[in-house]
Amino acid sequence: MRRIIASLDIGSNSIKLVIGEIVKSRLNILAALDTPSRGIKKGFIVNSESAIEALSEIFNKAEDMLGLKIKKVIASVPSNFAECFLSEGSSTITNENKVVGPNDIVRAMQASVYNKIQDNMELVTIIPTIFRINDTDVVKNPKNMIADKLTVKSVIVSVPKKNVMPIVKCLERIGVEVVDIALSSLGDYALAKTKDSSKEVGALINIGDSTTTVSIFNRGVLTNTEVIDLGGQNIDNDIAFIYKIPRTEAKYLKENLSLAHKRLAVPSEYVIVTDKNGESVKVNQYEISEVVMSRLEEMLNLAKKQINLLTKKEISYIIFTGGVTESVDFGLLLEEIFGNNVILSQVSELGVRDNKYSTSVGLIKYYNGRLKLRNKEFSIFSIEEQEELSGLTRKVNISENSILGKLFGYFFDN
């Protein structure tokens, strides 16, 4: 079976939809699209009708590209007020041979979250950190081991239901099923992680259009996250205010004239714009780069302080991603503020080589990792559609329950 996964990242500036195929642990992009957001503010749906129009638009474009209807998707949800906490659960091995199987692991993980999620919260993921056999031996993967009892210590990640349900309902109205949800940082980390990062404590910072998300990972496990209400739009507003021009024109100048650091800016490079009073204004690269750099410095220093609030552990690395990190000379500013232990993540897959796709591409890798861990097969396309693409005929059954049911039912049952 071809493992084809679609992921959706709903941002304040744009909605990104990526469809990818995993072939021998390599991700091939089948389609990558973005469309301007409507009815969305800071990742939250504030006008469902406008949001549905924008979502319909991007799904229709993707379906035109592939020639197939997309009915299932992995969706990112806002990280605001996310909770990460440690929990523990156990299961008794009841089969005759006392061999730990997938169902035993499932029961232990379910026990670790049972009655731990508040009524106003939605489960995002359960991340097992260690397993114990018979309360003594610590193992990484207990499958096929002999035991009377299996215990798992997990990190539970949840978010308020208001972060999730409006997105799910809007997608349901256009005939798209959300088969899983995730925080953007989980996707970003899946994209940018290294062998060393899985052994260390580090931070991941995504600078988007309206928010900056700071997340802490301890040996590859998300332990804390916080959202700062500053992003690329604030830079646009600064430029628009200083030069008295529309914000759309300010954004254009930010992306096509300014640099993230003024060190290499050239005063002789300029453009002439017309301000709101009808007067001609000369905007040179050095001056506008000063404006951009000033706001970026503020955002980066706030993110730096936020890291210290989220963890007291020593940070070994800091990964940066998000659309704003595509700014020219952004790396110079990072080095000046954070030193040499920074990693400027880059989306390397052909067709999506832009950090605005970091979350959506990363979510495909994140979800594929979950499938591999549980030895599951999945494709967003039906058997007939798979035959149309590749001629394969193996069936996949997906549950039709709630998101919580899907997380448990699809990943853990059978």
What pLDDT digit, counting tens, does each position of 364-396 carry? 999 998 887 776 788 888 667 766 765 433 333
Domain ranges of the chain: 233-291
| Lowest-pLDDT range of 52-61, 226-235, 260-269, 339-348 | 339-348
Average pLDDT, stretch 174-182? 96
pTM: 0.88
Task: Look at residue 315 and tell me whether its pLDDT is greater than 70.
Answer: yes
The pLDDT of residue 379: 85
- CATH number, span 233-291: 3.30.420.40
User: Strand, helix or coil at 134?
Assistant: coil
The pLDDT of residue 376: 77
CA-closest candidate to residue 166, choices 228, 231, 78, 84: 78
User: Strand, helix or coil at 295?
Assistant: helix
Distance CA 176, CA 115 (A): 30
99 DSSP 8-state letter: B
The pLDDT of residue 123: 95
Structure tokens at 217: 């990972």
Average pLDDT, stretch 146-151? 95
Rg of the Cα atoms in the chain: 23
Task: Look at residue 409 and tell me whether its pLDDT is greater than 80.
Answer: no
Task: Look at residue 401 and tell me whether its pLDDT is greater than 80.
Answer: no
Cβ atoms within 10 A of the Cβ of 346, count? Answer: 14
The pLDDT of residue 402: 41
Structure tokens at 2: 């071809």
- Torsion-angle region of residue 222: left (phi > 0), alpha (psi -120 to 50) or beta? beta
Question: Are the C-beta atoms of 306 and 315 separated by less than 8 Å?
Answer: no
Structure tokens at 147: 């035991």
Model confidence over 115-131: pLDDT tens digits? Answer: 999 999 999 999 889 99
Average pLDDT, the chain: 90
The pLDDT of residue 403: 44
| Lowest-pLDDT range of 164-168, 284-288, 291-295, 387-391 | 387-391
196 by Cβ neighbours in 10 Å (0-12 / 13-18 / 19+) ranks as exposed
